[in-house]
């Protein structure tokens, strides 16, 4: 079973790439068509079904078709970004499981929206035709959960934590620059300390020695 940890990321990448290609090709077909893909019978029936459900006619159907094209394109882009994060992980990066989750959610949303008119009309066989994308979504989600198990206890700081740590490091860096210098003795600088500070590139002036006022002795 040593091959299993390597097979799981490969299977997830294959499923994500397959979904990205399918939805990307569908988006390109819709956006390159002069009638937004309504020349295809299956897609036209889908759009007309949604239009009848919400009482949309004429030019509103083109808006629905364009909306599906945008949804398919967004799904393909998100899944391709996830694949890109997996490729970047070979160079020491981190795999973005959030992009995979977002892409799978978009697949489910687009599939269920497309099947809603047929389901409401009792044509449940249309959902049977759409079961393959749902199966692939379930497979990818399950494999992603298994892949994330070793990192369940890992902590990845958010942007607020990163900013707080950066400010704390900057505060300590400023505190480390403070130098306590020896006092001037008899109006003459401590040349040894001044030489060392000069060699280190520090420009810090020595603080004068404050002598107490009054006699040097105290009567009892």
Q: Which residues contact 64 (CB under 8 A, 6 or more apart)?
A: 47, 50, 51, 56
154-179 mean pLDDT: 67
- Choose the weakest-confidence range: 1-5, 56-60, 97-101, 216-220: 216-220
Q: Tell me, what's the pLDDT at 220?
A: 47
Give residue limits of the domains in the chain: 4-156, 160-199
Model confidence pLDDT, tens digit, residues 62-97: 888 889 999 999 999 999 999 999 998 888 778 888
Q: Buried b vs exposed e over 111-146: b needs ≥16 C-beta within 10 Å?
A: beebbbbbeeeeeeebbeeeeebbebbeebbebbee
% of residues, the chain, pLDDT over 90? 24
Residue 184 pLDDT greater than 60, yes or no: no
| Cβ 99 vs Cβ 81: under 8 Å | yes
Looking from the CA of 89 toward its CB, the CA atoms found within 13 Å total: 13
pTM over 0.85: no
Q: How crowded is residue 8: how many other Cβ atoms within 10 Å of its Cβ?
A: 15
Residue 208: beta bridge partners? Answer: 184
């Amino acid at each position: 079973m040593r091959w299993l940890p390597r097979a799981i990321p490969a299977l997830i990448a294959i499923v994500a790439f397959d979904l990205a290609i399918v939805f990307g090709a569908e988006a390109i077909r819709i956006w390159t068509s002069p009638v937004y893909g309504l020349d295809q019978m299956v897609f036209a029936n889908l759009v007309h079904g949604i239009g009848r459900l919400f009482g949309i006619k004429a030019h509103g159907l083109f808006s629905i078709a364009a909306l599906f094209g945008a949804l398919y394109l967004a799904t393909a882009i998100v899944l391709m970004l996830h694949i890109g994060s997996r490729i970047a992980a070979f160079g020491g990066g981190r795999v973005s499981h959030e992009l995979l989750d977002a892409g799978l959610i978009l697949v489910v949303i687009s599939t269920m929206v497309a099947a809603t008119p047929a389901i409401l009309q009792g044509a449940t066989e249309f959902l049977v035709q759409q079961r393959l994308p749902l199966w692939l979504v379930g497979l990818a989600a399950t494999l992603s959960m298994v892949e994330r198990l070793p990192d369940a206890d890992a902590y990845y700081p958010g942007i607020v934590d990163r900013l707080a740590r950066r400010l704390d490091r900057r505060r300590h860096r400023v505190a480390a620059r403070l130098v306590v210098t020896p006092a001037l003795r008899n109006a003459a600088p401590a040349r040894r300390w001044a030489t060392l500070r000069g060699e280190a590139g520090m420009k810090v002036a020595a603080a004068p020695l404050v002598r107490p006022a009054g006699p040097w002795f105290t009567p009892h």
